[in-house]
A = this chain, B = another copy of it.
Amino acid sequence: MPDDAAVPTMFDQKLDKLAALAVRVGLNLRPGQEVVMTAPVEALPLVRRIAAHAYQAGATLVTPLIGDDEVALARYRHAGDDAFDTAPGWLFEGMAAAFRGGAARLAVVGEDPTLLAGQDPAKVARANRARSIAYRPALELITSFAINWNLVPASTPGWAREVFPGLPEAEAVARLWDAIFMACRVDQADPVAGWAAHNATLHARTKFLNGKDYAELRYRGPGTDLVIGLADGHLWAGGAEPAKNGIICNPNIPTEEVFTTPHKLRVSGTVRSTKPLAYQGTLIDDIQVRFEEGRIVEAHASRGEDVLRRVLETDEGAARLGEVALVPHSSPISASGLLFRNTLFDENAASHIALGQAYTTCLRDSTGVPMDELAKRGANASLIHIDWMIGSGEIDIDGVTKTGSVEPLMRGGEFVAA
């Protein structure tokens, strides 16, 4: 019979497994690499375990850059108006230098999704803009997959409060940890082996779908009757992938999706969202849109419709699709039934589509090809990329081959092929 003392021990074991997973599977850290790790201060117990595993894996140096919400808020509470166009460029340039020098990048994710909700939106926007510009050199090394990198979650009071509103803080934090451990598959005896199997499943799925090279996908379900044409020469991706430094890593833990690039002109029909979309502090719920020739021509939502409309008007590409992703309804995140209000989780909870910018890496022979050329194959361009969930246990999806034959792909939210 477990006694009280056993409870932290079981928790500690899971925390340690999550840390090992981030280092061995997420980063697949190689001996001699430095690790540059960002994390909220509440994640310090996980940070310490990640440092231990990184050194065991041969890291020369682990440098944690610890963030604190109170220090971030102090600026909005006390700084003058002219403070909000400044960003720590010196730090971000340093991080970029570390990446160019061979460092791996680990981000422990546990943001309070509503931290800045009460602050002046104009100041938030200016600070975000300054930060985005200053961070660009470092971010480009990550988005271009120049280095091995990983996002791994940690439960924090600010985040847990949003996922479990109404629960006492300590209980909410504990419940979110449980959900994280389940979603990250660390509640198994050997999570590293579990992730090898999971990556194999995702790779088998992308291989199957790339072999099929479907012309389009057809979705049917409550409120949904949609055809998504796929880009010419699209490629499905998912799970572990090789970075340009040759290291095969899992950039996201958890991950459940396989995803590719739709054709921006070949989407038609109606689709209904199956989970609320948390967008910059606003919940947009019951989205219902109609596509004609790839473009959304009608859009409704039971909540946040004005925000949705503003999003769609961002630019020409904002009302077209840039990503289509398939996630089984039985995935652990979906099974939790929770809305995490964090992209790392919510985009892996269900099959989804994304408005806006396409991933050019999901097109064959795309390296060095100008965006104009890729656009002719169907790749969409936009300033935004917003994922929203359209999968559930009631969705059927067919693949349509180039010769027009229709093949069942998913039934009741589960893969029947692939």
Contacts and interface: CB of A to CB of B under 8 A. Distances in A.
A78 B61 contact: no
A227 B83 CA distance: 55
Contact of A61 (B41, B63, B77, B88): B88
Contacts of A83: 55, 58-61
Contact of A68 (B44, B59, B60, B101): B44
Given A86-B60, A91-B94, A52 B78 contact: yes
A79 B32 CA distance: 10
A162 interface: no
Contacts of A79: 55, 58-60
Count of chain copies: 2
Interface in A81-123: 82-83, 86-88, 90-91, 93-95, 97-98, 101, 103
Contacts of A60: 79, 82-83, 86
A91 B101 CA distance: 12
Given A56-B78, A90-B101, A48 B62 contact: no
B71 A58 contact: no
Contacts of A326: none
Given A44-B68, A52-B74, A75-B62, A97 B93 contact: yes
Contact of A88 (B47, B63, B77, B93): B63
Interface string A240-266: 000000000000000000000000000
Contact of A71 (B32, B34, B47, B86): B47
A172 to B, nearest CB: 22
Which of A65, A66, A97 has the largest number of chain B CB atoms within 10 A?
A66
A70 interface: yes
A400 to B, nearest CB: 50
B70 A55 contact: no
A63 B91 contact: yes
Interface in A283-331: none
A397 interface: no
Given A41-B66, A48-B71, A91-B94, A34 B86 contact: yes
Which of A34, A70, A79 has the largest number of chain B CB atoms within 10 A?
A79
Contacts of A61: 75, 83, 86-88
Which of A48, A74, A75, A83 has the largest number of chain B CB atoms within 10 A?
A74
A68 B59 CA distance: 17
A376 B93 CA distance: 44
Nearest to A70: B48
A98 B90 contact: yes
Interface of A: 31-32, 34, 41, 44, 47-48, 51-52, 55-56, 58-66, 68, 70-71, 74-75, 77-80, 82-83, 86-88, 90-91, 93-95, 97-98, 101, 103
20 contacts: A41-B41, A47-B68, A48-B70, A51-B70, A51-B71, A52-B74, A52-B78, A55-B77, A55-B80, A55-B83, A56-B78, A59-B79, A59-B83, A61-B86, A62-B71, A62-B75, A64-B68, A93-B94, A94-B94, A94-B97
